[in-house]
Structure formats: structure tokens, C-alpha cells
């Protein structure tokens, strides 16, 4: 897929959010609105800054790796994929790169978080020309890292989601809400989804 074949650049976080609720992405691209900053978001940002300091000293054992170089807040962009994003951290070894996403939650990662890792993997494989077959999600409160296989199937699903997002934006199609309404409770866009309250 070449950059000139699509002209709609997306962010890796769009994939995660679209999987959570497509309306979140709709509000960002089709009908931009102000979102409320939640306590959870502010707390997560502060905790992440502390974590970067800690990570500098932490051993790579938490990731099951014996060696590697850490890189923080790395902006990555693939022109061919029309995709960019800021990696919380990447671990580079001689022959591989591992994306790491930090999360301020005790809940185990969900599928949409794995798609996000797959988005980073696709960019890194394109720009760094190294295989990205695994990634980590580090839960800050738990001080624990989950490892995920980033298979070709997950990467293909991620690419498919990107195309669905582009279709939605081009058609300016307002999506249905998620079937699990519990997702709406903490949502920063709930003021704009009057049809569900
Ligand atoms: S309030 Fe619910 S339907 Fe609306 S954007 Fe948030 S999660 Fe989606």
C-alpha cells in the first residue's frame, strides 16, 4: 500500500480507539469536538513521566530480555502506510525491535491494545527494516509487563481496521455506539452521544 494511494494519514491510537468505539474516531476526524479531560487521563500522564525515570534503571528482565537499548517517546511514521504514532518505549536488540506501551490500569490488556502494538509493529517493520514479532504492554500500577505475539494475522486485522476508519471518514458516516454501554461511562465524549443516555 503506497502513500499516494490514500491521502488520509491516521494515528496508531486511532486503531485502538476505533476498536473501543468507532464514534471516538469519528469525533476526532469528522466532527471535531472538545473532549473532557478525565481524572484517569491526568493521573496516567503523571504516572508515565515517573515511569520513564524508573525505566532508565530497571533491568530488562521484566521483559524477558537479556540485552537491548531503550528508546522513549519515539515518534514513528510510515509514509507508505499513512500511519504515525508516538511509542512510549521501544527496546532495540541486534536483530529485533519490541514496541512497549505503558498503561495506567490494573486491568489486563484488551484486544484493542494489541491492535495498537500491531500498528507500531507495522510502522517499525516498514521504516527500520527489522522484524517486529512481539510487543509489550506494561501495567504501571502492577509493575508488570504482558507480552504479545504480533502475528501476521493481527497485523492484517490492523490494516483492515485502518481501511474501515478511512471509509468511515470519507463517507462521514456516524457509527453505531458499542454494544457494551459500560464503555460509555468513563468516556470523554459522552456529552456528544445524547442518543445513548
Ligand atoms: S459515549 Fe459511548 S458511544 Fe459515545 S463516543 Fe463514548 S464510548 Fe462511544
pTM equals 0.86
**Residues 83 and 77: beta-carbon distance below 8 Å:** yes
Q: For ligand 1, what atom is nearest to the CA of residue 22?
A: 8
**Residues 165 and 15: beta-carbon distance below 8 Å:** yes
Q: What is the CATH number of domain 8-196?
A: 3.90.320.10
**Residues 107 and 98: beta-carbon distance below 8 Å:** no
Beta-bridged to residue 91, according to DSSP, are 70, 98
Q: For ligand 1, what atom is nearest to the CA of residue 23?
A: 5
Planar angle of CA 77, 85, 126, nearest 5 degrees:
35
> What are the residue boundaries of the structural domains of the chain, listed by start?
8-196
Per-residue pLDDT tens over the stretch 148-162:
999 999 999 999 999
Q: What does the block give as the cell for 178?
A: 458499542
Which residue puts its alpha carbon closest to atom 3 of ligand 1?
A: 177
Q: What are the C-alpha distances in Å from 74 to residues 51, 77, 95?
A: 15, 10, 19
Per-residue pLDDT tens over the stretch 50-65:
666 667 666 777 788 8
Amino acid at each position: 500500500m503506497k502513500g499516494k494511494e490514500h491521502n488520509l494519514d491516521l494515528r496508531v491510537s486511532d486503531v485502538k480507539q476505533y476498536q473501543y468505539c468507532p464514534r471516538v474516531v469519528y469525533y476526532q476526524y469528522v466532527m471535531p469536538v472538545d473532549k473532557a479531560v478525565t481524572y484517569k487521563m491526568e493521573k496516567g500522564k503523571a504516572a508515565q513521566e515517573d515511569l520513564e525515570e524508573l525505566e532508565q534503571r530497571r533491568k530488562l528482565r521484566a521483559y524477558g530480555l537479556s540485552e537491548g537499548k531503550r528508546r522513549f517517546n519515539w515518534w514513528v511514521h510510515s509514509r507508505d502506510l499513512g500511519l504515525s504514532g508516538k511509542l512510549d518505549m521501544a527496546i532495540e536488540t541486534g536483530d529485533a525491535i519490541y514496541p512497549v506501551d505503558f498503561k495506567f490500569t490494573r486491568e489486563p490488556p484488551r484486544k484493542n491494545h494489541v491492535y495498537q502494538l500491531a500498528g507500531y509493529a507495522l510502522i517499525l517493520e516498514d521504516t527500520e527494516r527489522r522484524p517486529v514479532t512481539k510487543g509489550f504492554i506494561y501495567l504501571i500500577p502492577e509493575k508488570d509487563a504482558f507480552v504479545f505475539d504480533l502475528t501476521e494475522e493481527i497485523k492484517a486485522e490492523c490494516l483492515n481496521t485502518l481501511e474501515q476508519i478511512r471509509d468511515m471518514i470519507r463517507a462521514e458516516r456516524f457509527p453505531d455506539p458499542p454494544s457494551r454501554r459500560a464503555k460509555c461511562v468513563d468516556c470523554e465524549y459522552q456529552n456528544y452521544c445524547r442518543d445513548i443516555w
